[in-house]
């Protein structure tokens, strides 16, 4: 997308766009999620950052502070269809989500974490942007090495720019299926477990085991 702008196609009709192709360069270089802390759990400004990711968060939060709209574009470790995290389903965010491309949006993450208390508070990109009253969506484009994920990301960025009138064109809108998160399970250190061979967003029958634990009952639907 950056190369397209540099070549003069498309033309930016108004406003400005900031691209951050790699949010965590050290983690990306080592092909891991993070080096010292999960950036998406420490995404807030701090006066005395104690980790590499906390220092990154200070820089990135400054970028969010100056924007009107934030699109967080990601890939996943597990296989599954692309989807959107609609953490803050305002009327504006819902309408925008319908033009990104994926047919499924997940809701309920912030409310679920609120029930867990401060020990599990999540400082992520969407929560920070929402506190700053920005429009924000997070799109998971597919598995890291899936070549189709790049196309999903490209379409989502272009459609966002069209939707907000920054480049020419009108993106098509499509209905979204909403999936609500209602439970969260934490893996204890040292606990052995197995997961059946299903992909993210697969439908499973009621009573099916989701997690098989060695020393405790299975967790079922």
pLDDT reported for residue 210: 78
List alpha helices for the chain, DSSP H: 2-7, 25-30, 52-65, 91-97, 109-114, 125-131, 147-163
Q: What is the share, in percent, of the chain residues with pLDDT greater than 90?
A: 66
10: which DSSP letter? Answer: S
Rounded Cα–Cα distance for residues 209 and 117 (Å): 27
Q: Kindly indicate the confidence band of residue 119, based on its pLDDT and cuts at 50, 70 and 90.
A: low
Q: Residue 22 pairs with which residues in a beta bridge? A: none
**Whether 167 contacts 100, CB under 8 Å:** no
* Averaged pLDDT for residues 1-18: 94
**Whether 84 contacts 104, CB under 8 Å:** yes
**Whether 100 contacts 82, CB under 8 Å:** no
Rounded Cα–Cα distance for residues 1 and 166 (Å): 13
Which tens digit of pLDDT belongs to each residue from 182-205?
A: 888 777 777 777 777 778 888 888
Rounded Cα–Cα distance for residues 137 and 47 (Å): 27
**Whether 85 contacts 105, CB under 8 Å:** yes
Q: And the tokens for 133?
A: 């009253």
Rounded Cα–Cα distance for residues 104 and 176 (Å): 5
Q: What is the residue-averaged pLDDT of the chain?
A: 90
pLDDT reported for residue 212: 77
**Whether 23 contacts 56, CB under 8 Å:** yes
The architecture of the domain spanning 2-12+68-180 is 3-Layer(aba) Sandwich (3.40)
Rounded Cα–Cα distance for residues 24 and 54 (Å): 11
**Whether 193 contacts 211, CB under 8 Å:** yes
pLDDT reported for residue 118: 64
Tell me the CA distances in angstroms from 216 to 39, 189, 190, 196, one per residue in order: 32, 14, 13, 16
Instruction: Delimit the CATH 3.40.630.10 region(s) of the chain.
Output: 2-12+68-180
Query: Which of 88-97, 138-147, 159-168, 190-199 shows the lowest mean pLDDT across its residues?
Result: 190-199
SS3 label, residue 142: strand
Prediction pTM value = 0.90
Which tens digit of pLDDT belongs to each residue from 153-170?
A: 999 999 999 999 999 999
Query: Which of 37-46, 102-111, 180-189 shows the lowest mean pLDDT across its residues?
Result: 180-189
């Amino acid at each position: 997308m950056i190369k397209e702008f540099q070549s003069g196609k498309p033309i930016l009709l108004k406003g400005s766009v900031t691209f951050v192709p790699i949010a965590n360069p050290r983690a990306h270089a080592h092909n891991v999620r993070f080096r010292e802390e999960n950036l998406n759990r420490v995404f807030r400004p701090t006066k005395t950052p104690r980790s590499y990711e906390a220092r990154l968060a200070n820089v990135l939060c400054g970028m969010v502070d100056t924007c009107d709209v934030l699109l967080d574009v990601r890939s996943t470790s597990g296989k599954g269809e692309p989807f959107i995290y609609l953490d803050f389903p305002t009327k504006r965010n819902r309408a925008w989500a319908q033009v990104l491309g994926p047919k499924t949006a997940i809701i309920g993450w912030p409310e679920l974490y609120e029930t867990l208390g401060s020990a599990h508070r999540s400082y992520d990109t969407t929560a920070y942007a929402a506190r700053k009253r920005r429009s924000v969506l997070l799109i998971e484009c597919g598995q890291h090495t899936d070549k189709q994920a790049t196309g999903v990301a490209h379409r989502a960025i272009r459609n966002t720019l069209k939707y907000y009138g920054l480049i020419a064109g009108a993106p098509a809108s499509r209905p979204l299926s909403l999936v609500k998160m209602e439970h969260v399970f934490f893996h204890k250190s040292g606990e052995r477990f197995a997961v059946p061979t299903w992909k993210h967003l697969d439908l499973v029958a009621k009573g099916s085991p989701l997690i098989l634990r060695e020393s405790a009952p299975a967790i079922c639907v």
